[in-house]
Structure 1
Amino acid sequence: MPESAGNAAENAPYLIISSDTHAGLRTDQYRDFLESRYHPQLDRYLERMRASTGMREKLYDQEFVSEWRAEHDEGLAGGWDAARRDQELDRDGVTGEVIFPDADGESGATAVPFSAGLGMSGSGYDPSLALAGARAHNRWLAGLCAQSPARRRGVIVAPIVGNVEAAAAEIRRAHADGLRGGVMIPSLWGHGNRPYHDREYDAIWAVCEELGLPVQTHASAAPSEDLGLYLGLYATEVSWWSARPMWFLIWSGVFERFPGLRFGVQECGLWWVASLLWQMDVAFEREHGTRKLADLGTHMKRRPSEYFDTNCFVGASTAKRRELADRHQIGVGNILWGNDFPHSEGSWPHTREWIAYTFADIPEDETRVMLGEAAVEMFHFDRAELIPIARRIGPRPSDLGRDTSNATPTPPEPLDRHWLTGPDVPDISRSA
């Protein structure tokens, strides 16, 4: 049994992995990592960024942003400075991290060139330019990860829409360069482009399965042309758009063709997962509302929730207590935690307090799985390298006010999916 789990009763430190952190250069600084033939396009892109500053300022509470930056100015430098980053991880009690792009979550100053960062979408971008910007970021990120390789897993940015063969080649190149945190694809493929159930993308799924790289989407992109400045619409919909590719892969049989492929949804919460699994399962079982449909998945050998268990996960950055109450319907081992460093909506720099409150009522072994054990397996961290770091910086249960004096290690409770134990709706098809 792993030390971090087996010694829970002895107040062993938590091995905490943040499955969602961010890093990136100021956009103009990517020039040194961008092929020179794209420098003129970068100059024009920077001009457009400057011209859109006023619109972006309307999207954020500038008083809050100013206060946030003034209070955390030194720590925010960890978004691009490796030494400072390690200090902030240590202070937050985070042993390892999975790194997505765009360190600045408020002004967009660290956006990957050519819209290839968190807001990446198949609409309104030039595929060749987006891939060039992604390559620049991937090159830089490999250097950042190389400075603390044991505790870092960099996510490969891959704008695959319109770029399937070239994106697959970049995934191979970036993996060889040391990036091991999976692959981030656009949440939206955009109007007129092929959706993710199309066999065109099999080349992407194949290389990710071969290299053991989880495919991931991350909250940010949404159809802004529909939303305007009604930010309540964005807050309501953004998780849906980011999660949408997951059910495209499940229902189209991608996990039948690529059983070793893993897919994760990052920073979209947990509130939707249990209800989604219930809805998909009862539809698959041809309950009353779907009985008339001709083909609901004859190419699938298992229920949607079973594919979720073997092939999917959710990176629940700063998950709420209410959401974790659904953990036995979602699956404890399917939930990965994140502190979202250095974004203001995350738990940094108060992660210890956040964990103490959020996991207060959750058994010790389940807490350890969600805080780090599941991510160690998913992203192939070397436990032997992480444990000394956790011993040095990881909070212990007693540090978080948890009493483990009488704790006996027990495995996480089994799945509790009520819809699998009996008919979910009455059969009225033969009613008199």
Structure 2
Amino acid sequence: MAQPAAASADQAPATIEPNYVVISADCHGGANIVDYRPYLEPRYHDDFDAWRTSFENPYPDIEGDDAERNWNSNRRLAELEADGVVAEVVFPNTIPPFFPKTSLMHQPPGASDGDLERRWAGLRAHNRWLADFCGDAPGRRAGICQIMLHDVEGSVSEIRWAAEAGLTGGVLLPGAPPGSDVPPLYAPEYEPIWSVCEELGLPINHHSGSAAPDYGDYPAAQAMFLLEVVWWAHRTLWHLIFSGVMERHPNLQFVFTEQGTAWLPEEIARLDYYHHRLSGAGAAAGSQESKFGGAMGALSLKPSEYWARQCQLGSSFIRAAEVPLRDQVGVERIMWGSDFPHLEGCWPYSHQHLRLAFAGVPTDEVRAMVGGNAARVYGFDLDALAPLAARFGPTVAEVAQPLGVEDIPDDSLRCPAFASARFLGG
């Protein structure tokens, strides 16, 4: 049998690119409600037992056998691996003790009501459960600590505990919408929170949904929520910039998650424009607007420069039409997420979604957006994850293969990225 010809000096063997290390920067989890009890201080156990007896779960997607995706560590690892994901950032999902619904959403009571102490205990129980849950998969989960804006001193203590407990996901910043009875995020009361997070090197995460107000019990309420929910999250960006939080804490990193991607270039341009007007720069000197912008004098940078220095975008199930904007957003700022186990996420079709979004994008940019950026922000070890990626991660060749509209699974259309590609062309 003839032997294959040896490669000549100018024909080196082809190099095989290693699989992508895929880290989902947006996943959700939490304990089964009964399993929060051991994490509560004993003095709350009787109250918890009474609360659990009357509790009614408002979310069908965390009932039944599939609800255990939130807390069954082995099942969760297996399902994420099958989806090509080898590590994850864990936002809350199930309902912590003494809350009527998930803590991401605004809800009564206000700061002056009497149930705050118990709810704070419930959040602390979740944080302690989450530390153990992340410990079940070392190096593969970055858990996010929950705090309460009603108690700044207690939040600072909880943040210090979280750093010691290994919750490398940082801190979930709640919103302060109208009616929440807490100062807005641009108020000076929160300075100790910004300071301790900067000191400890913990990122501050702001997730869509956590800043929206109560829309009331009206037939159109859910539609209004969907139309407006990301705007309430977006406004946190200008609250933090124009109040000088980023100026005073230049090493503090902020992550804006599941808020879309396409909004950013236009919004940053708008903020730069307002900064110019409010600061009285150039032709705006002496203008009426500059009389309202006294705080602008303390800012040494433009909003776009604060964004480039301190902000990241958790681009959950990024739409294909948004990817061409990556240079305007910052390739090094975009972190892909599957939103597991939410029904609107791209799980369990992340392989297809990566093809839909990133086919034709340079390999080094894809590596950054699907894992490298998240590793930098949340402290994942890419070398340690590489053997898992070799087993479960998508190959460079696979992601480079465009996904045709005809290949989009029908069941994936619950995810906006797939739906927009099939019906809107992007």
Q: Is the 8 A contact 1:185 1:217 kept in 2?
A: yes
* 8 Å Cα contact 1:218-1:268 kept in structure 2: yes
Mapped to 2, the partners of 1:246 and 1:113 lie a distance apart of 30
Q: 2:226 aligns with which of 225, 235, 238?
A: 235
Matched, 1:207 2:196: yes
Give a deviation string over 1:334-375, Cα, whole Å, max 9, x none.
Answer: 111101111111111111011111112322222111111111
> One-letter code of the match for 2:384?
E
Between the aligned partners of 2:134 and 2:258, the Cα distance in structure 1 is 21
| Cα distance in 2 between the residues matched to 1:325 and 1:227 | 40
Show the 5 A alignment for 1:79-94: 79-94=70-85
Residue of structure 1 equivalent to 2:4: none
**Deviation (angstroms), 1:328:** 1.5
Structure 1 residue 377 displacement after superposition: 0.5
Deviations 1:278-326 (A, max 9, x none): 1000111228899422253111000001101111111011010122222
Q: Which amino acid counterpart does residue 393 of structure 2 have in structure 1?
A: G
Q: 1:234-291: per-residue Cα shift (whole Å, max 9, x none)?
A: 1111111222222111111111111111111111111321111010001112288994
Q: Give the 3-state SS of the residue equivalent to 1:298 in structure 2.
A: helix
2:109 equivalent to 1:124: yes
Q: Distance in 2 between matches of 1:229 and 1:41?
A: 34
Runs of 5+ in structure 2 lacking a partner? Answer: 1-13, 403-426
Distance in 1 (alpha carbons) for counterparts of 2:372 and 2:103: 26
Contact in 2 for aligned 1:264/1:314 (Cα 8 Å)? yes
User: Which residue, out of 79, 94, 97, partners 1:113?
Assistant: 97
Pair 249,227 (structure 1): closer, same or farther in 2 beyond 3 Å: farther
- 1:165 pairs with one of 139, 147, 153: 153
Corresponding residue for 1:3?
none
CA distance in 2, matches of 1:264, 1:29: 29
**Secondary structure of 2:202's aligned partner:** coil
Q: Is the 8 A contact 1:17 1:372 kept in 2?
A: yes
Q: 1:241 to 1:202 in 2, by over 3 A?
A: same
Alignment of 1:154-303 (within 5 A): 154-159=143-148, 161-191=149-179, 192-221=181-210, 222-226=212-216, 228-230=218-220, 231-286=222-277, 291-293=287-289, 294-296=291-293, 297-303=296-302
TM-score by length of 2: 0.81
**Pairwise CA RMSD of aligned residues?**
2.5
Aligned CA distance change for structure 1 residues 37 and 370 (closer, same or farther; 3 Å): same
Q: Alpha-carbon deviation of 1:41? A: 3.4
Q: What secondary structure sits across from 1:352 in the alignment? A: helix
Deviation at 1:189, TM superposition (A): 4.9
What pairs with 1:7-26 in structure 2 (closer than 5 Å)? 10-26=16-32
2:218, 2:333 → 1: CA distance?
35
Specify the alignment match of 1:153 in structure 2. Answer: 142
Per the TM alignment, residue 10 of structure 1 is displaced from its structure 2 partner at its CA by: 3.0
Q: Does 1:38 align with 2:44?
A: yes
Say if 1:123 and 1:190, in contact at 8 Å, map to a contact too: no
**Would you say the 8 A contact 1:123–1:189 is kept in 2?**
no
CA contact (8 A) 1:269 1:316 kept: yes
Give the 3-state SS of the residue equivalent to 1:275 in structure 2: helix
Cα pair distance change 1:400/1:383, threshold 3 Å: closer
Query: Deviation of residue 198 (structure 1)?
Result: 1.5
- The Cα of 1:9 is off from its aligned counterpart by 6.5
Q: Give the CA deviation at 1:178.
A: 1.6
Aligned length: 373
- Structure 1: gaps of 5 or more residues: 1-7, 103-109, 404-432
| CA offset digits 1:100-125 (Å, max 9, x no partner) | 111xxxxxxx3122338442447525
Distance 2:176 2:342 in 1: 22
TM-score computed with the length of structure 1 as normaliser: 0.80
Q: Distance in 2 between matches of 1:45 and 1:249?
A: 37
Q: Which moved more, 1:138-147 or 1:28-37?
A: 28-37
Determine the C-alpha separation between the residues in 1 that align with 2:53 and 2:238.
Answer: 38
Deviation at 1:83, TM superposition (A): 1.2
Equivalences for residues 335-374 of structure 1 within 5 A:
335-374=334-373
Conservation of the 8 A alpha-carbon contact between 2:177 and 2:184: yes
- Listed one character per residue, the Cα deviations across residues 19-46 of structure 1 (whole Å, up to 9, x for unaligned) are 1111111223211111122234334543
Deviations 1:43-98 (A, max 9, x none): 45435532xx5xx47xxxx7xx6xx988xx56x53320111111112111112111
Q: Which has the larger radius of gyration?
A: 2
The 1:132–1:229 alpha-carbon spacing in structure 2 relative to 1, beyond 3 Å, is: farther
Q: RCO higher in 1 or 2 (8 Å CA, sep ≥ 6)?
A: 1
Counterpart CA distance in 1 for 2:15 and 2:244 is 43
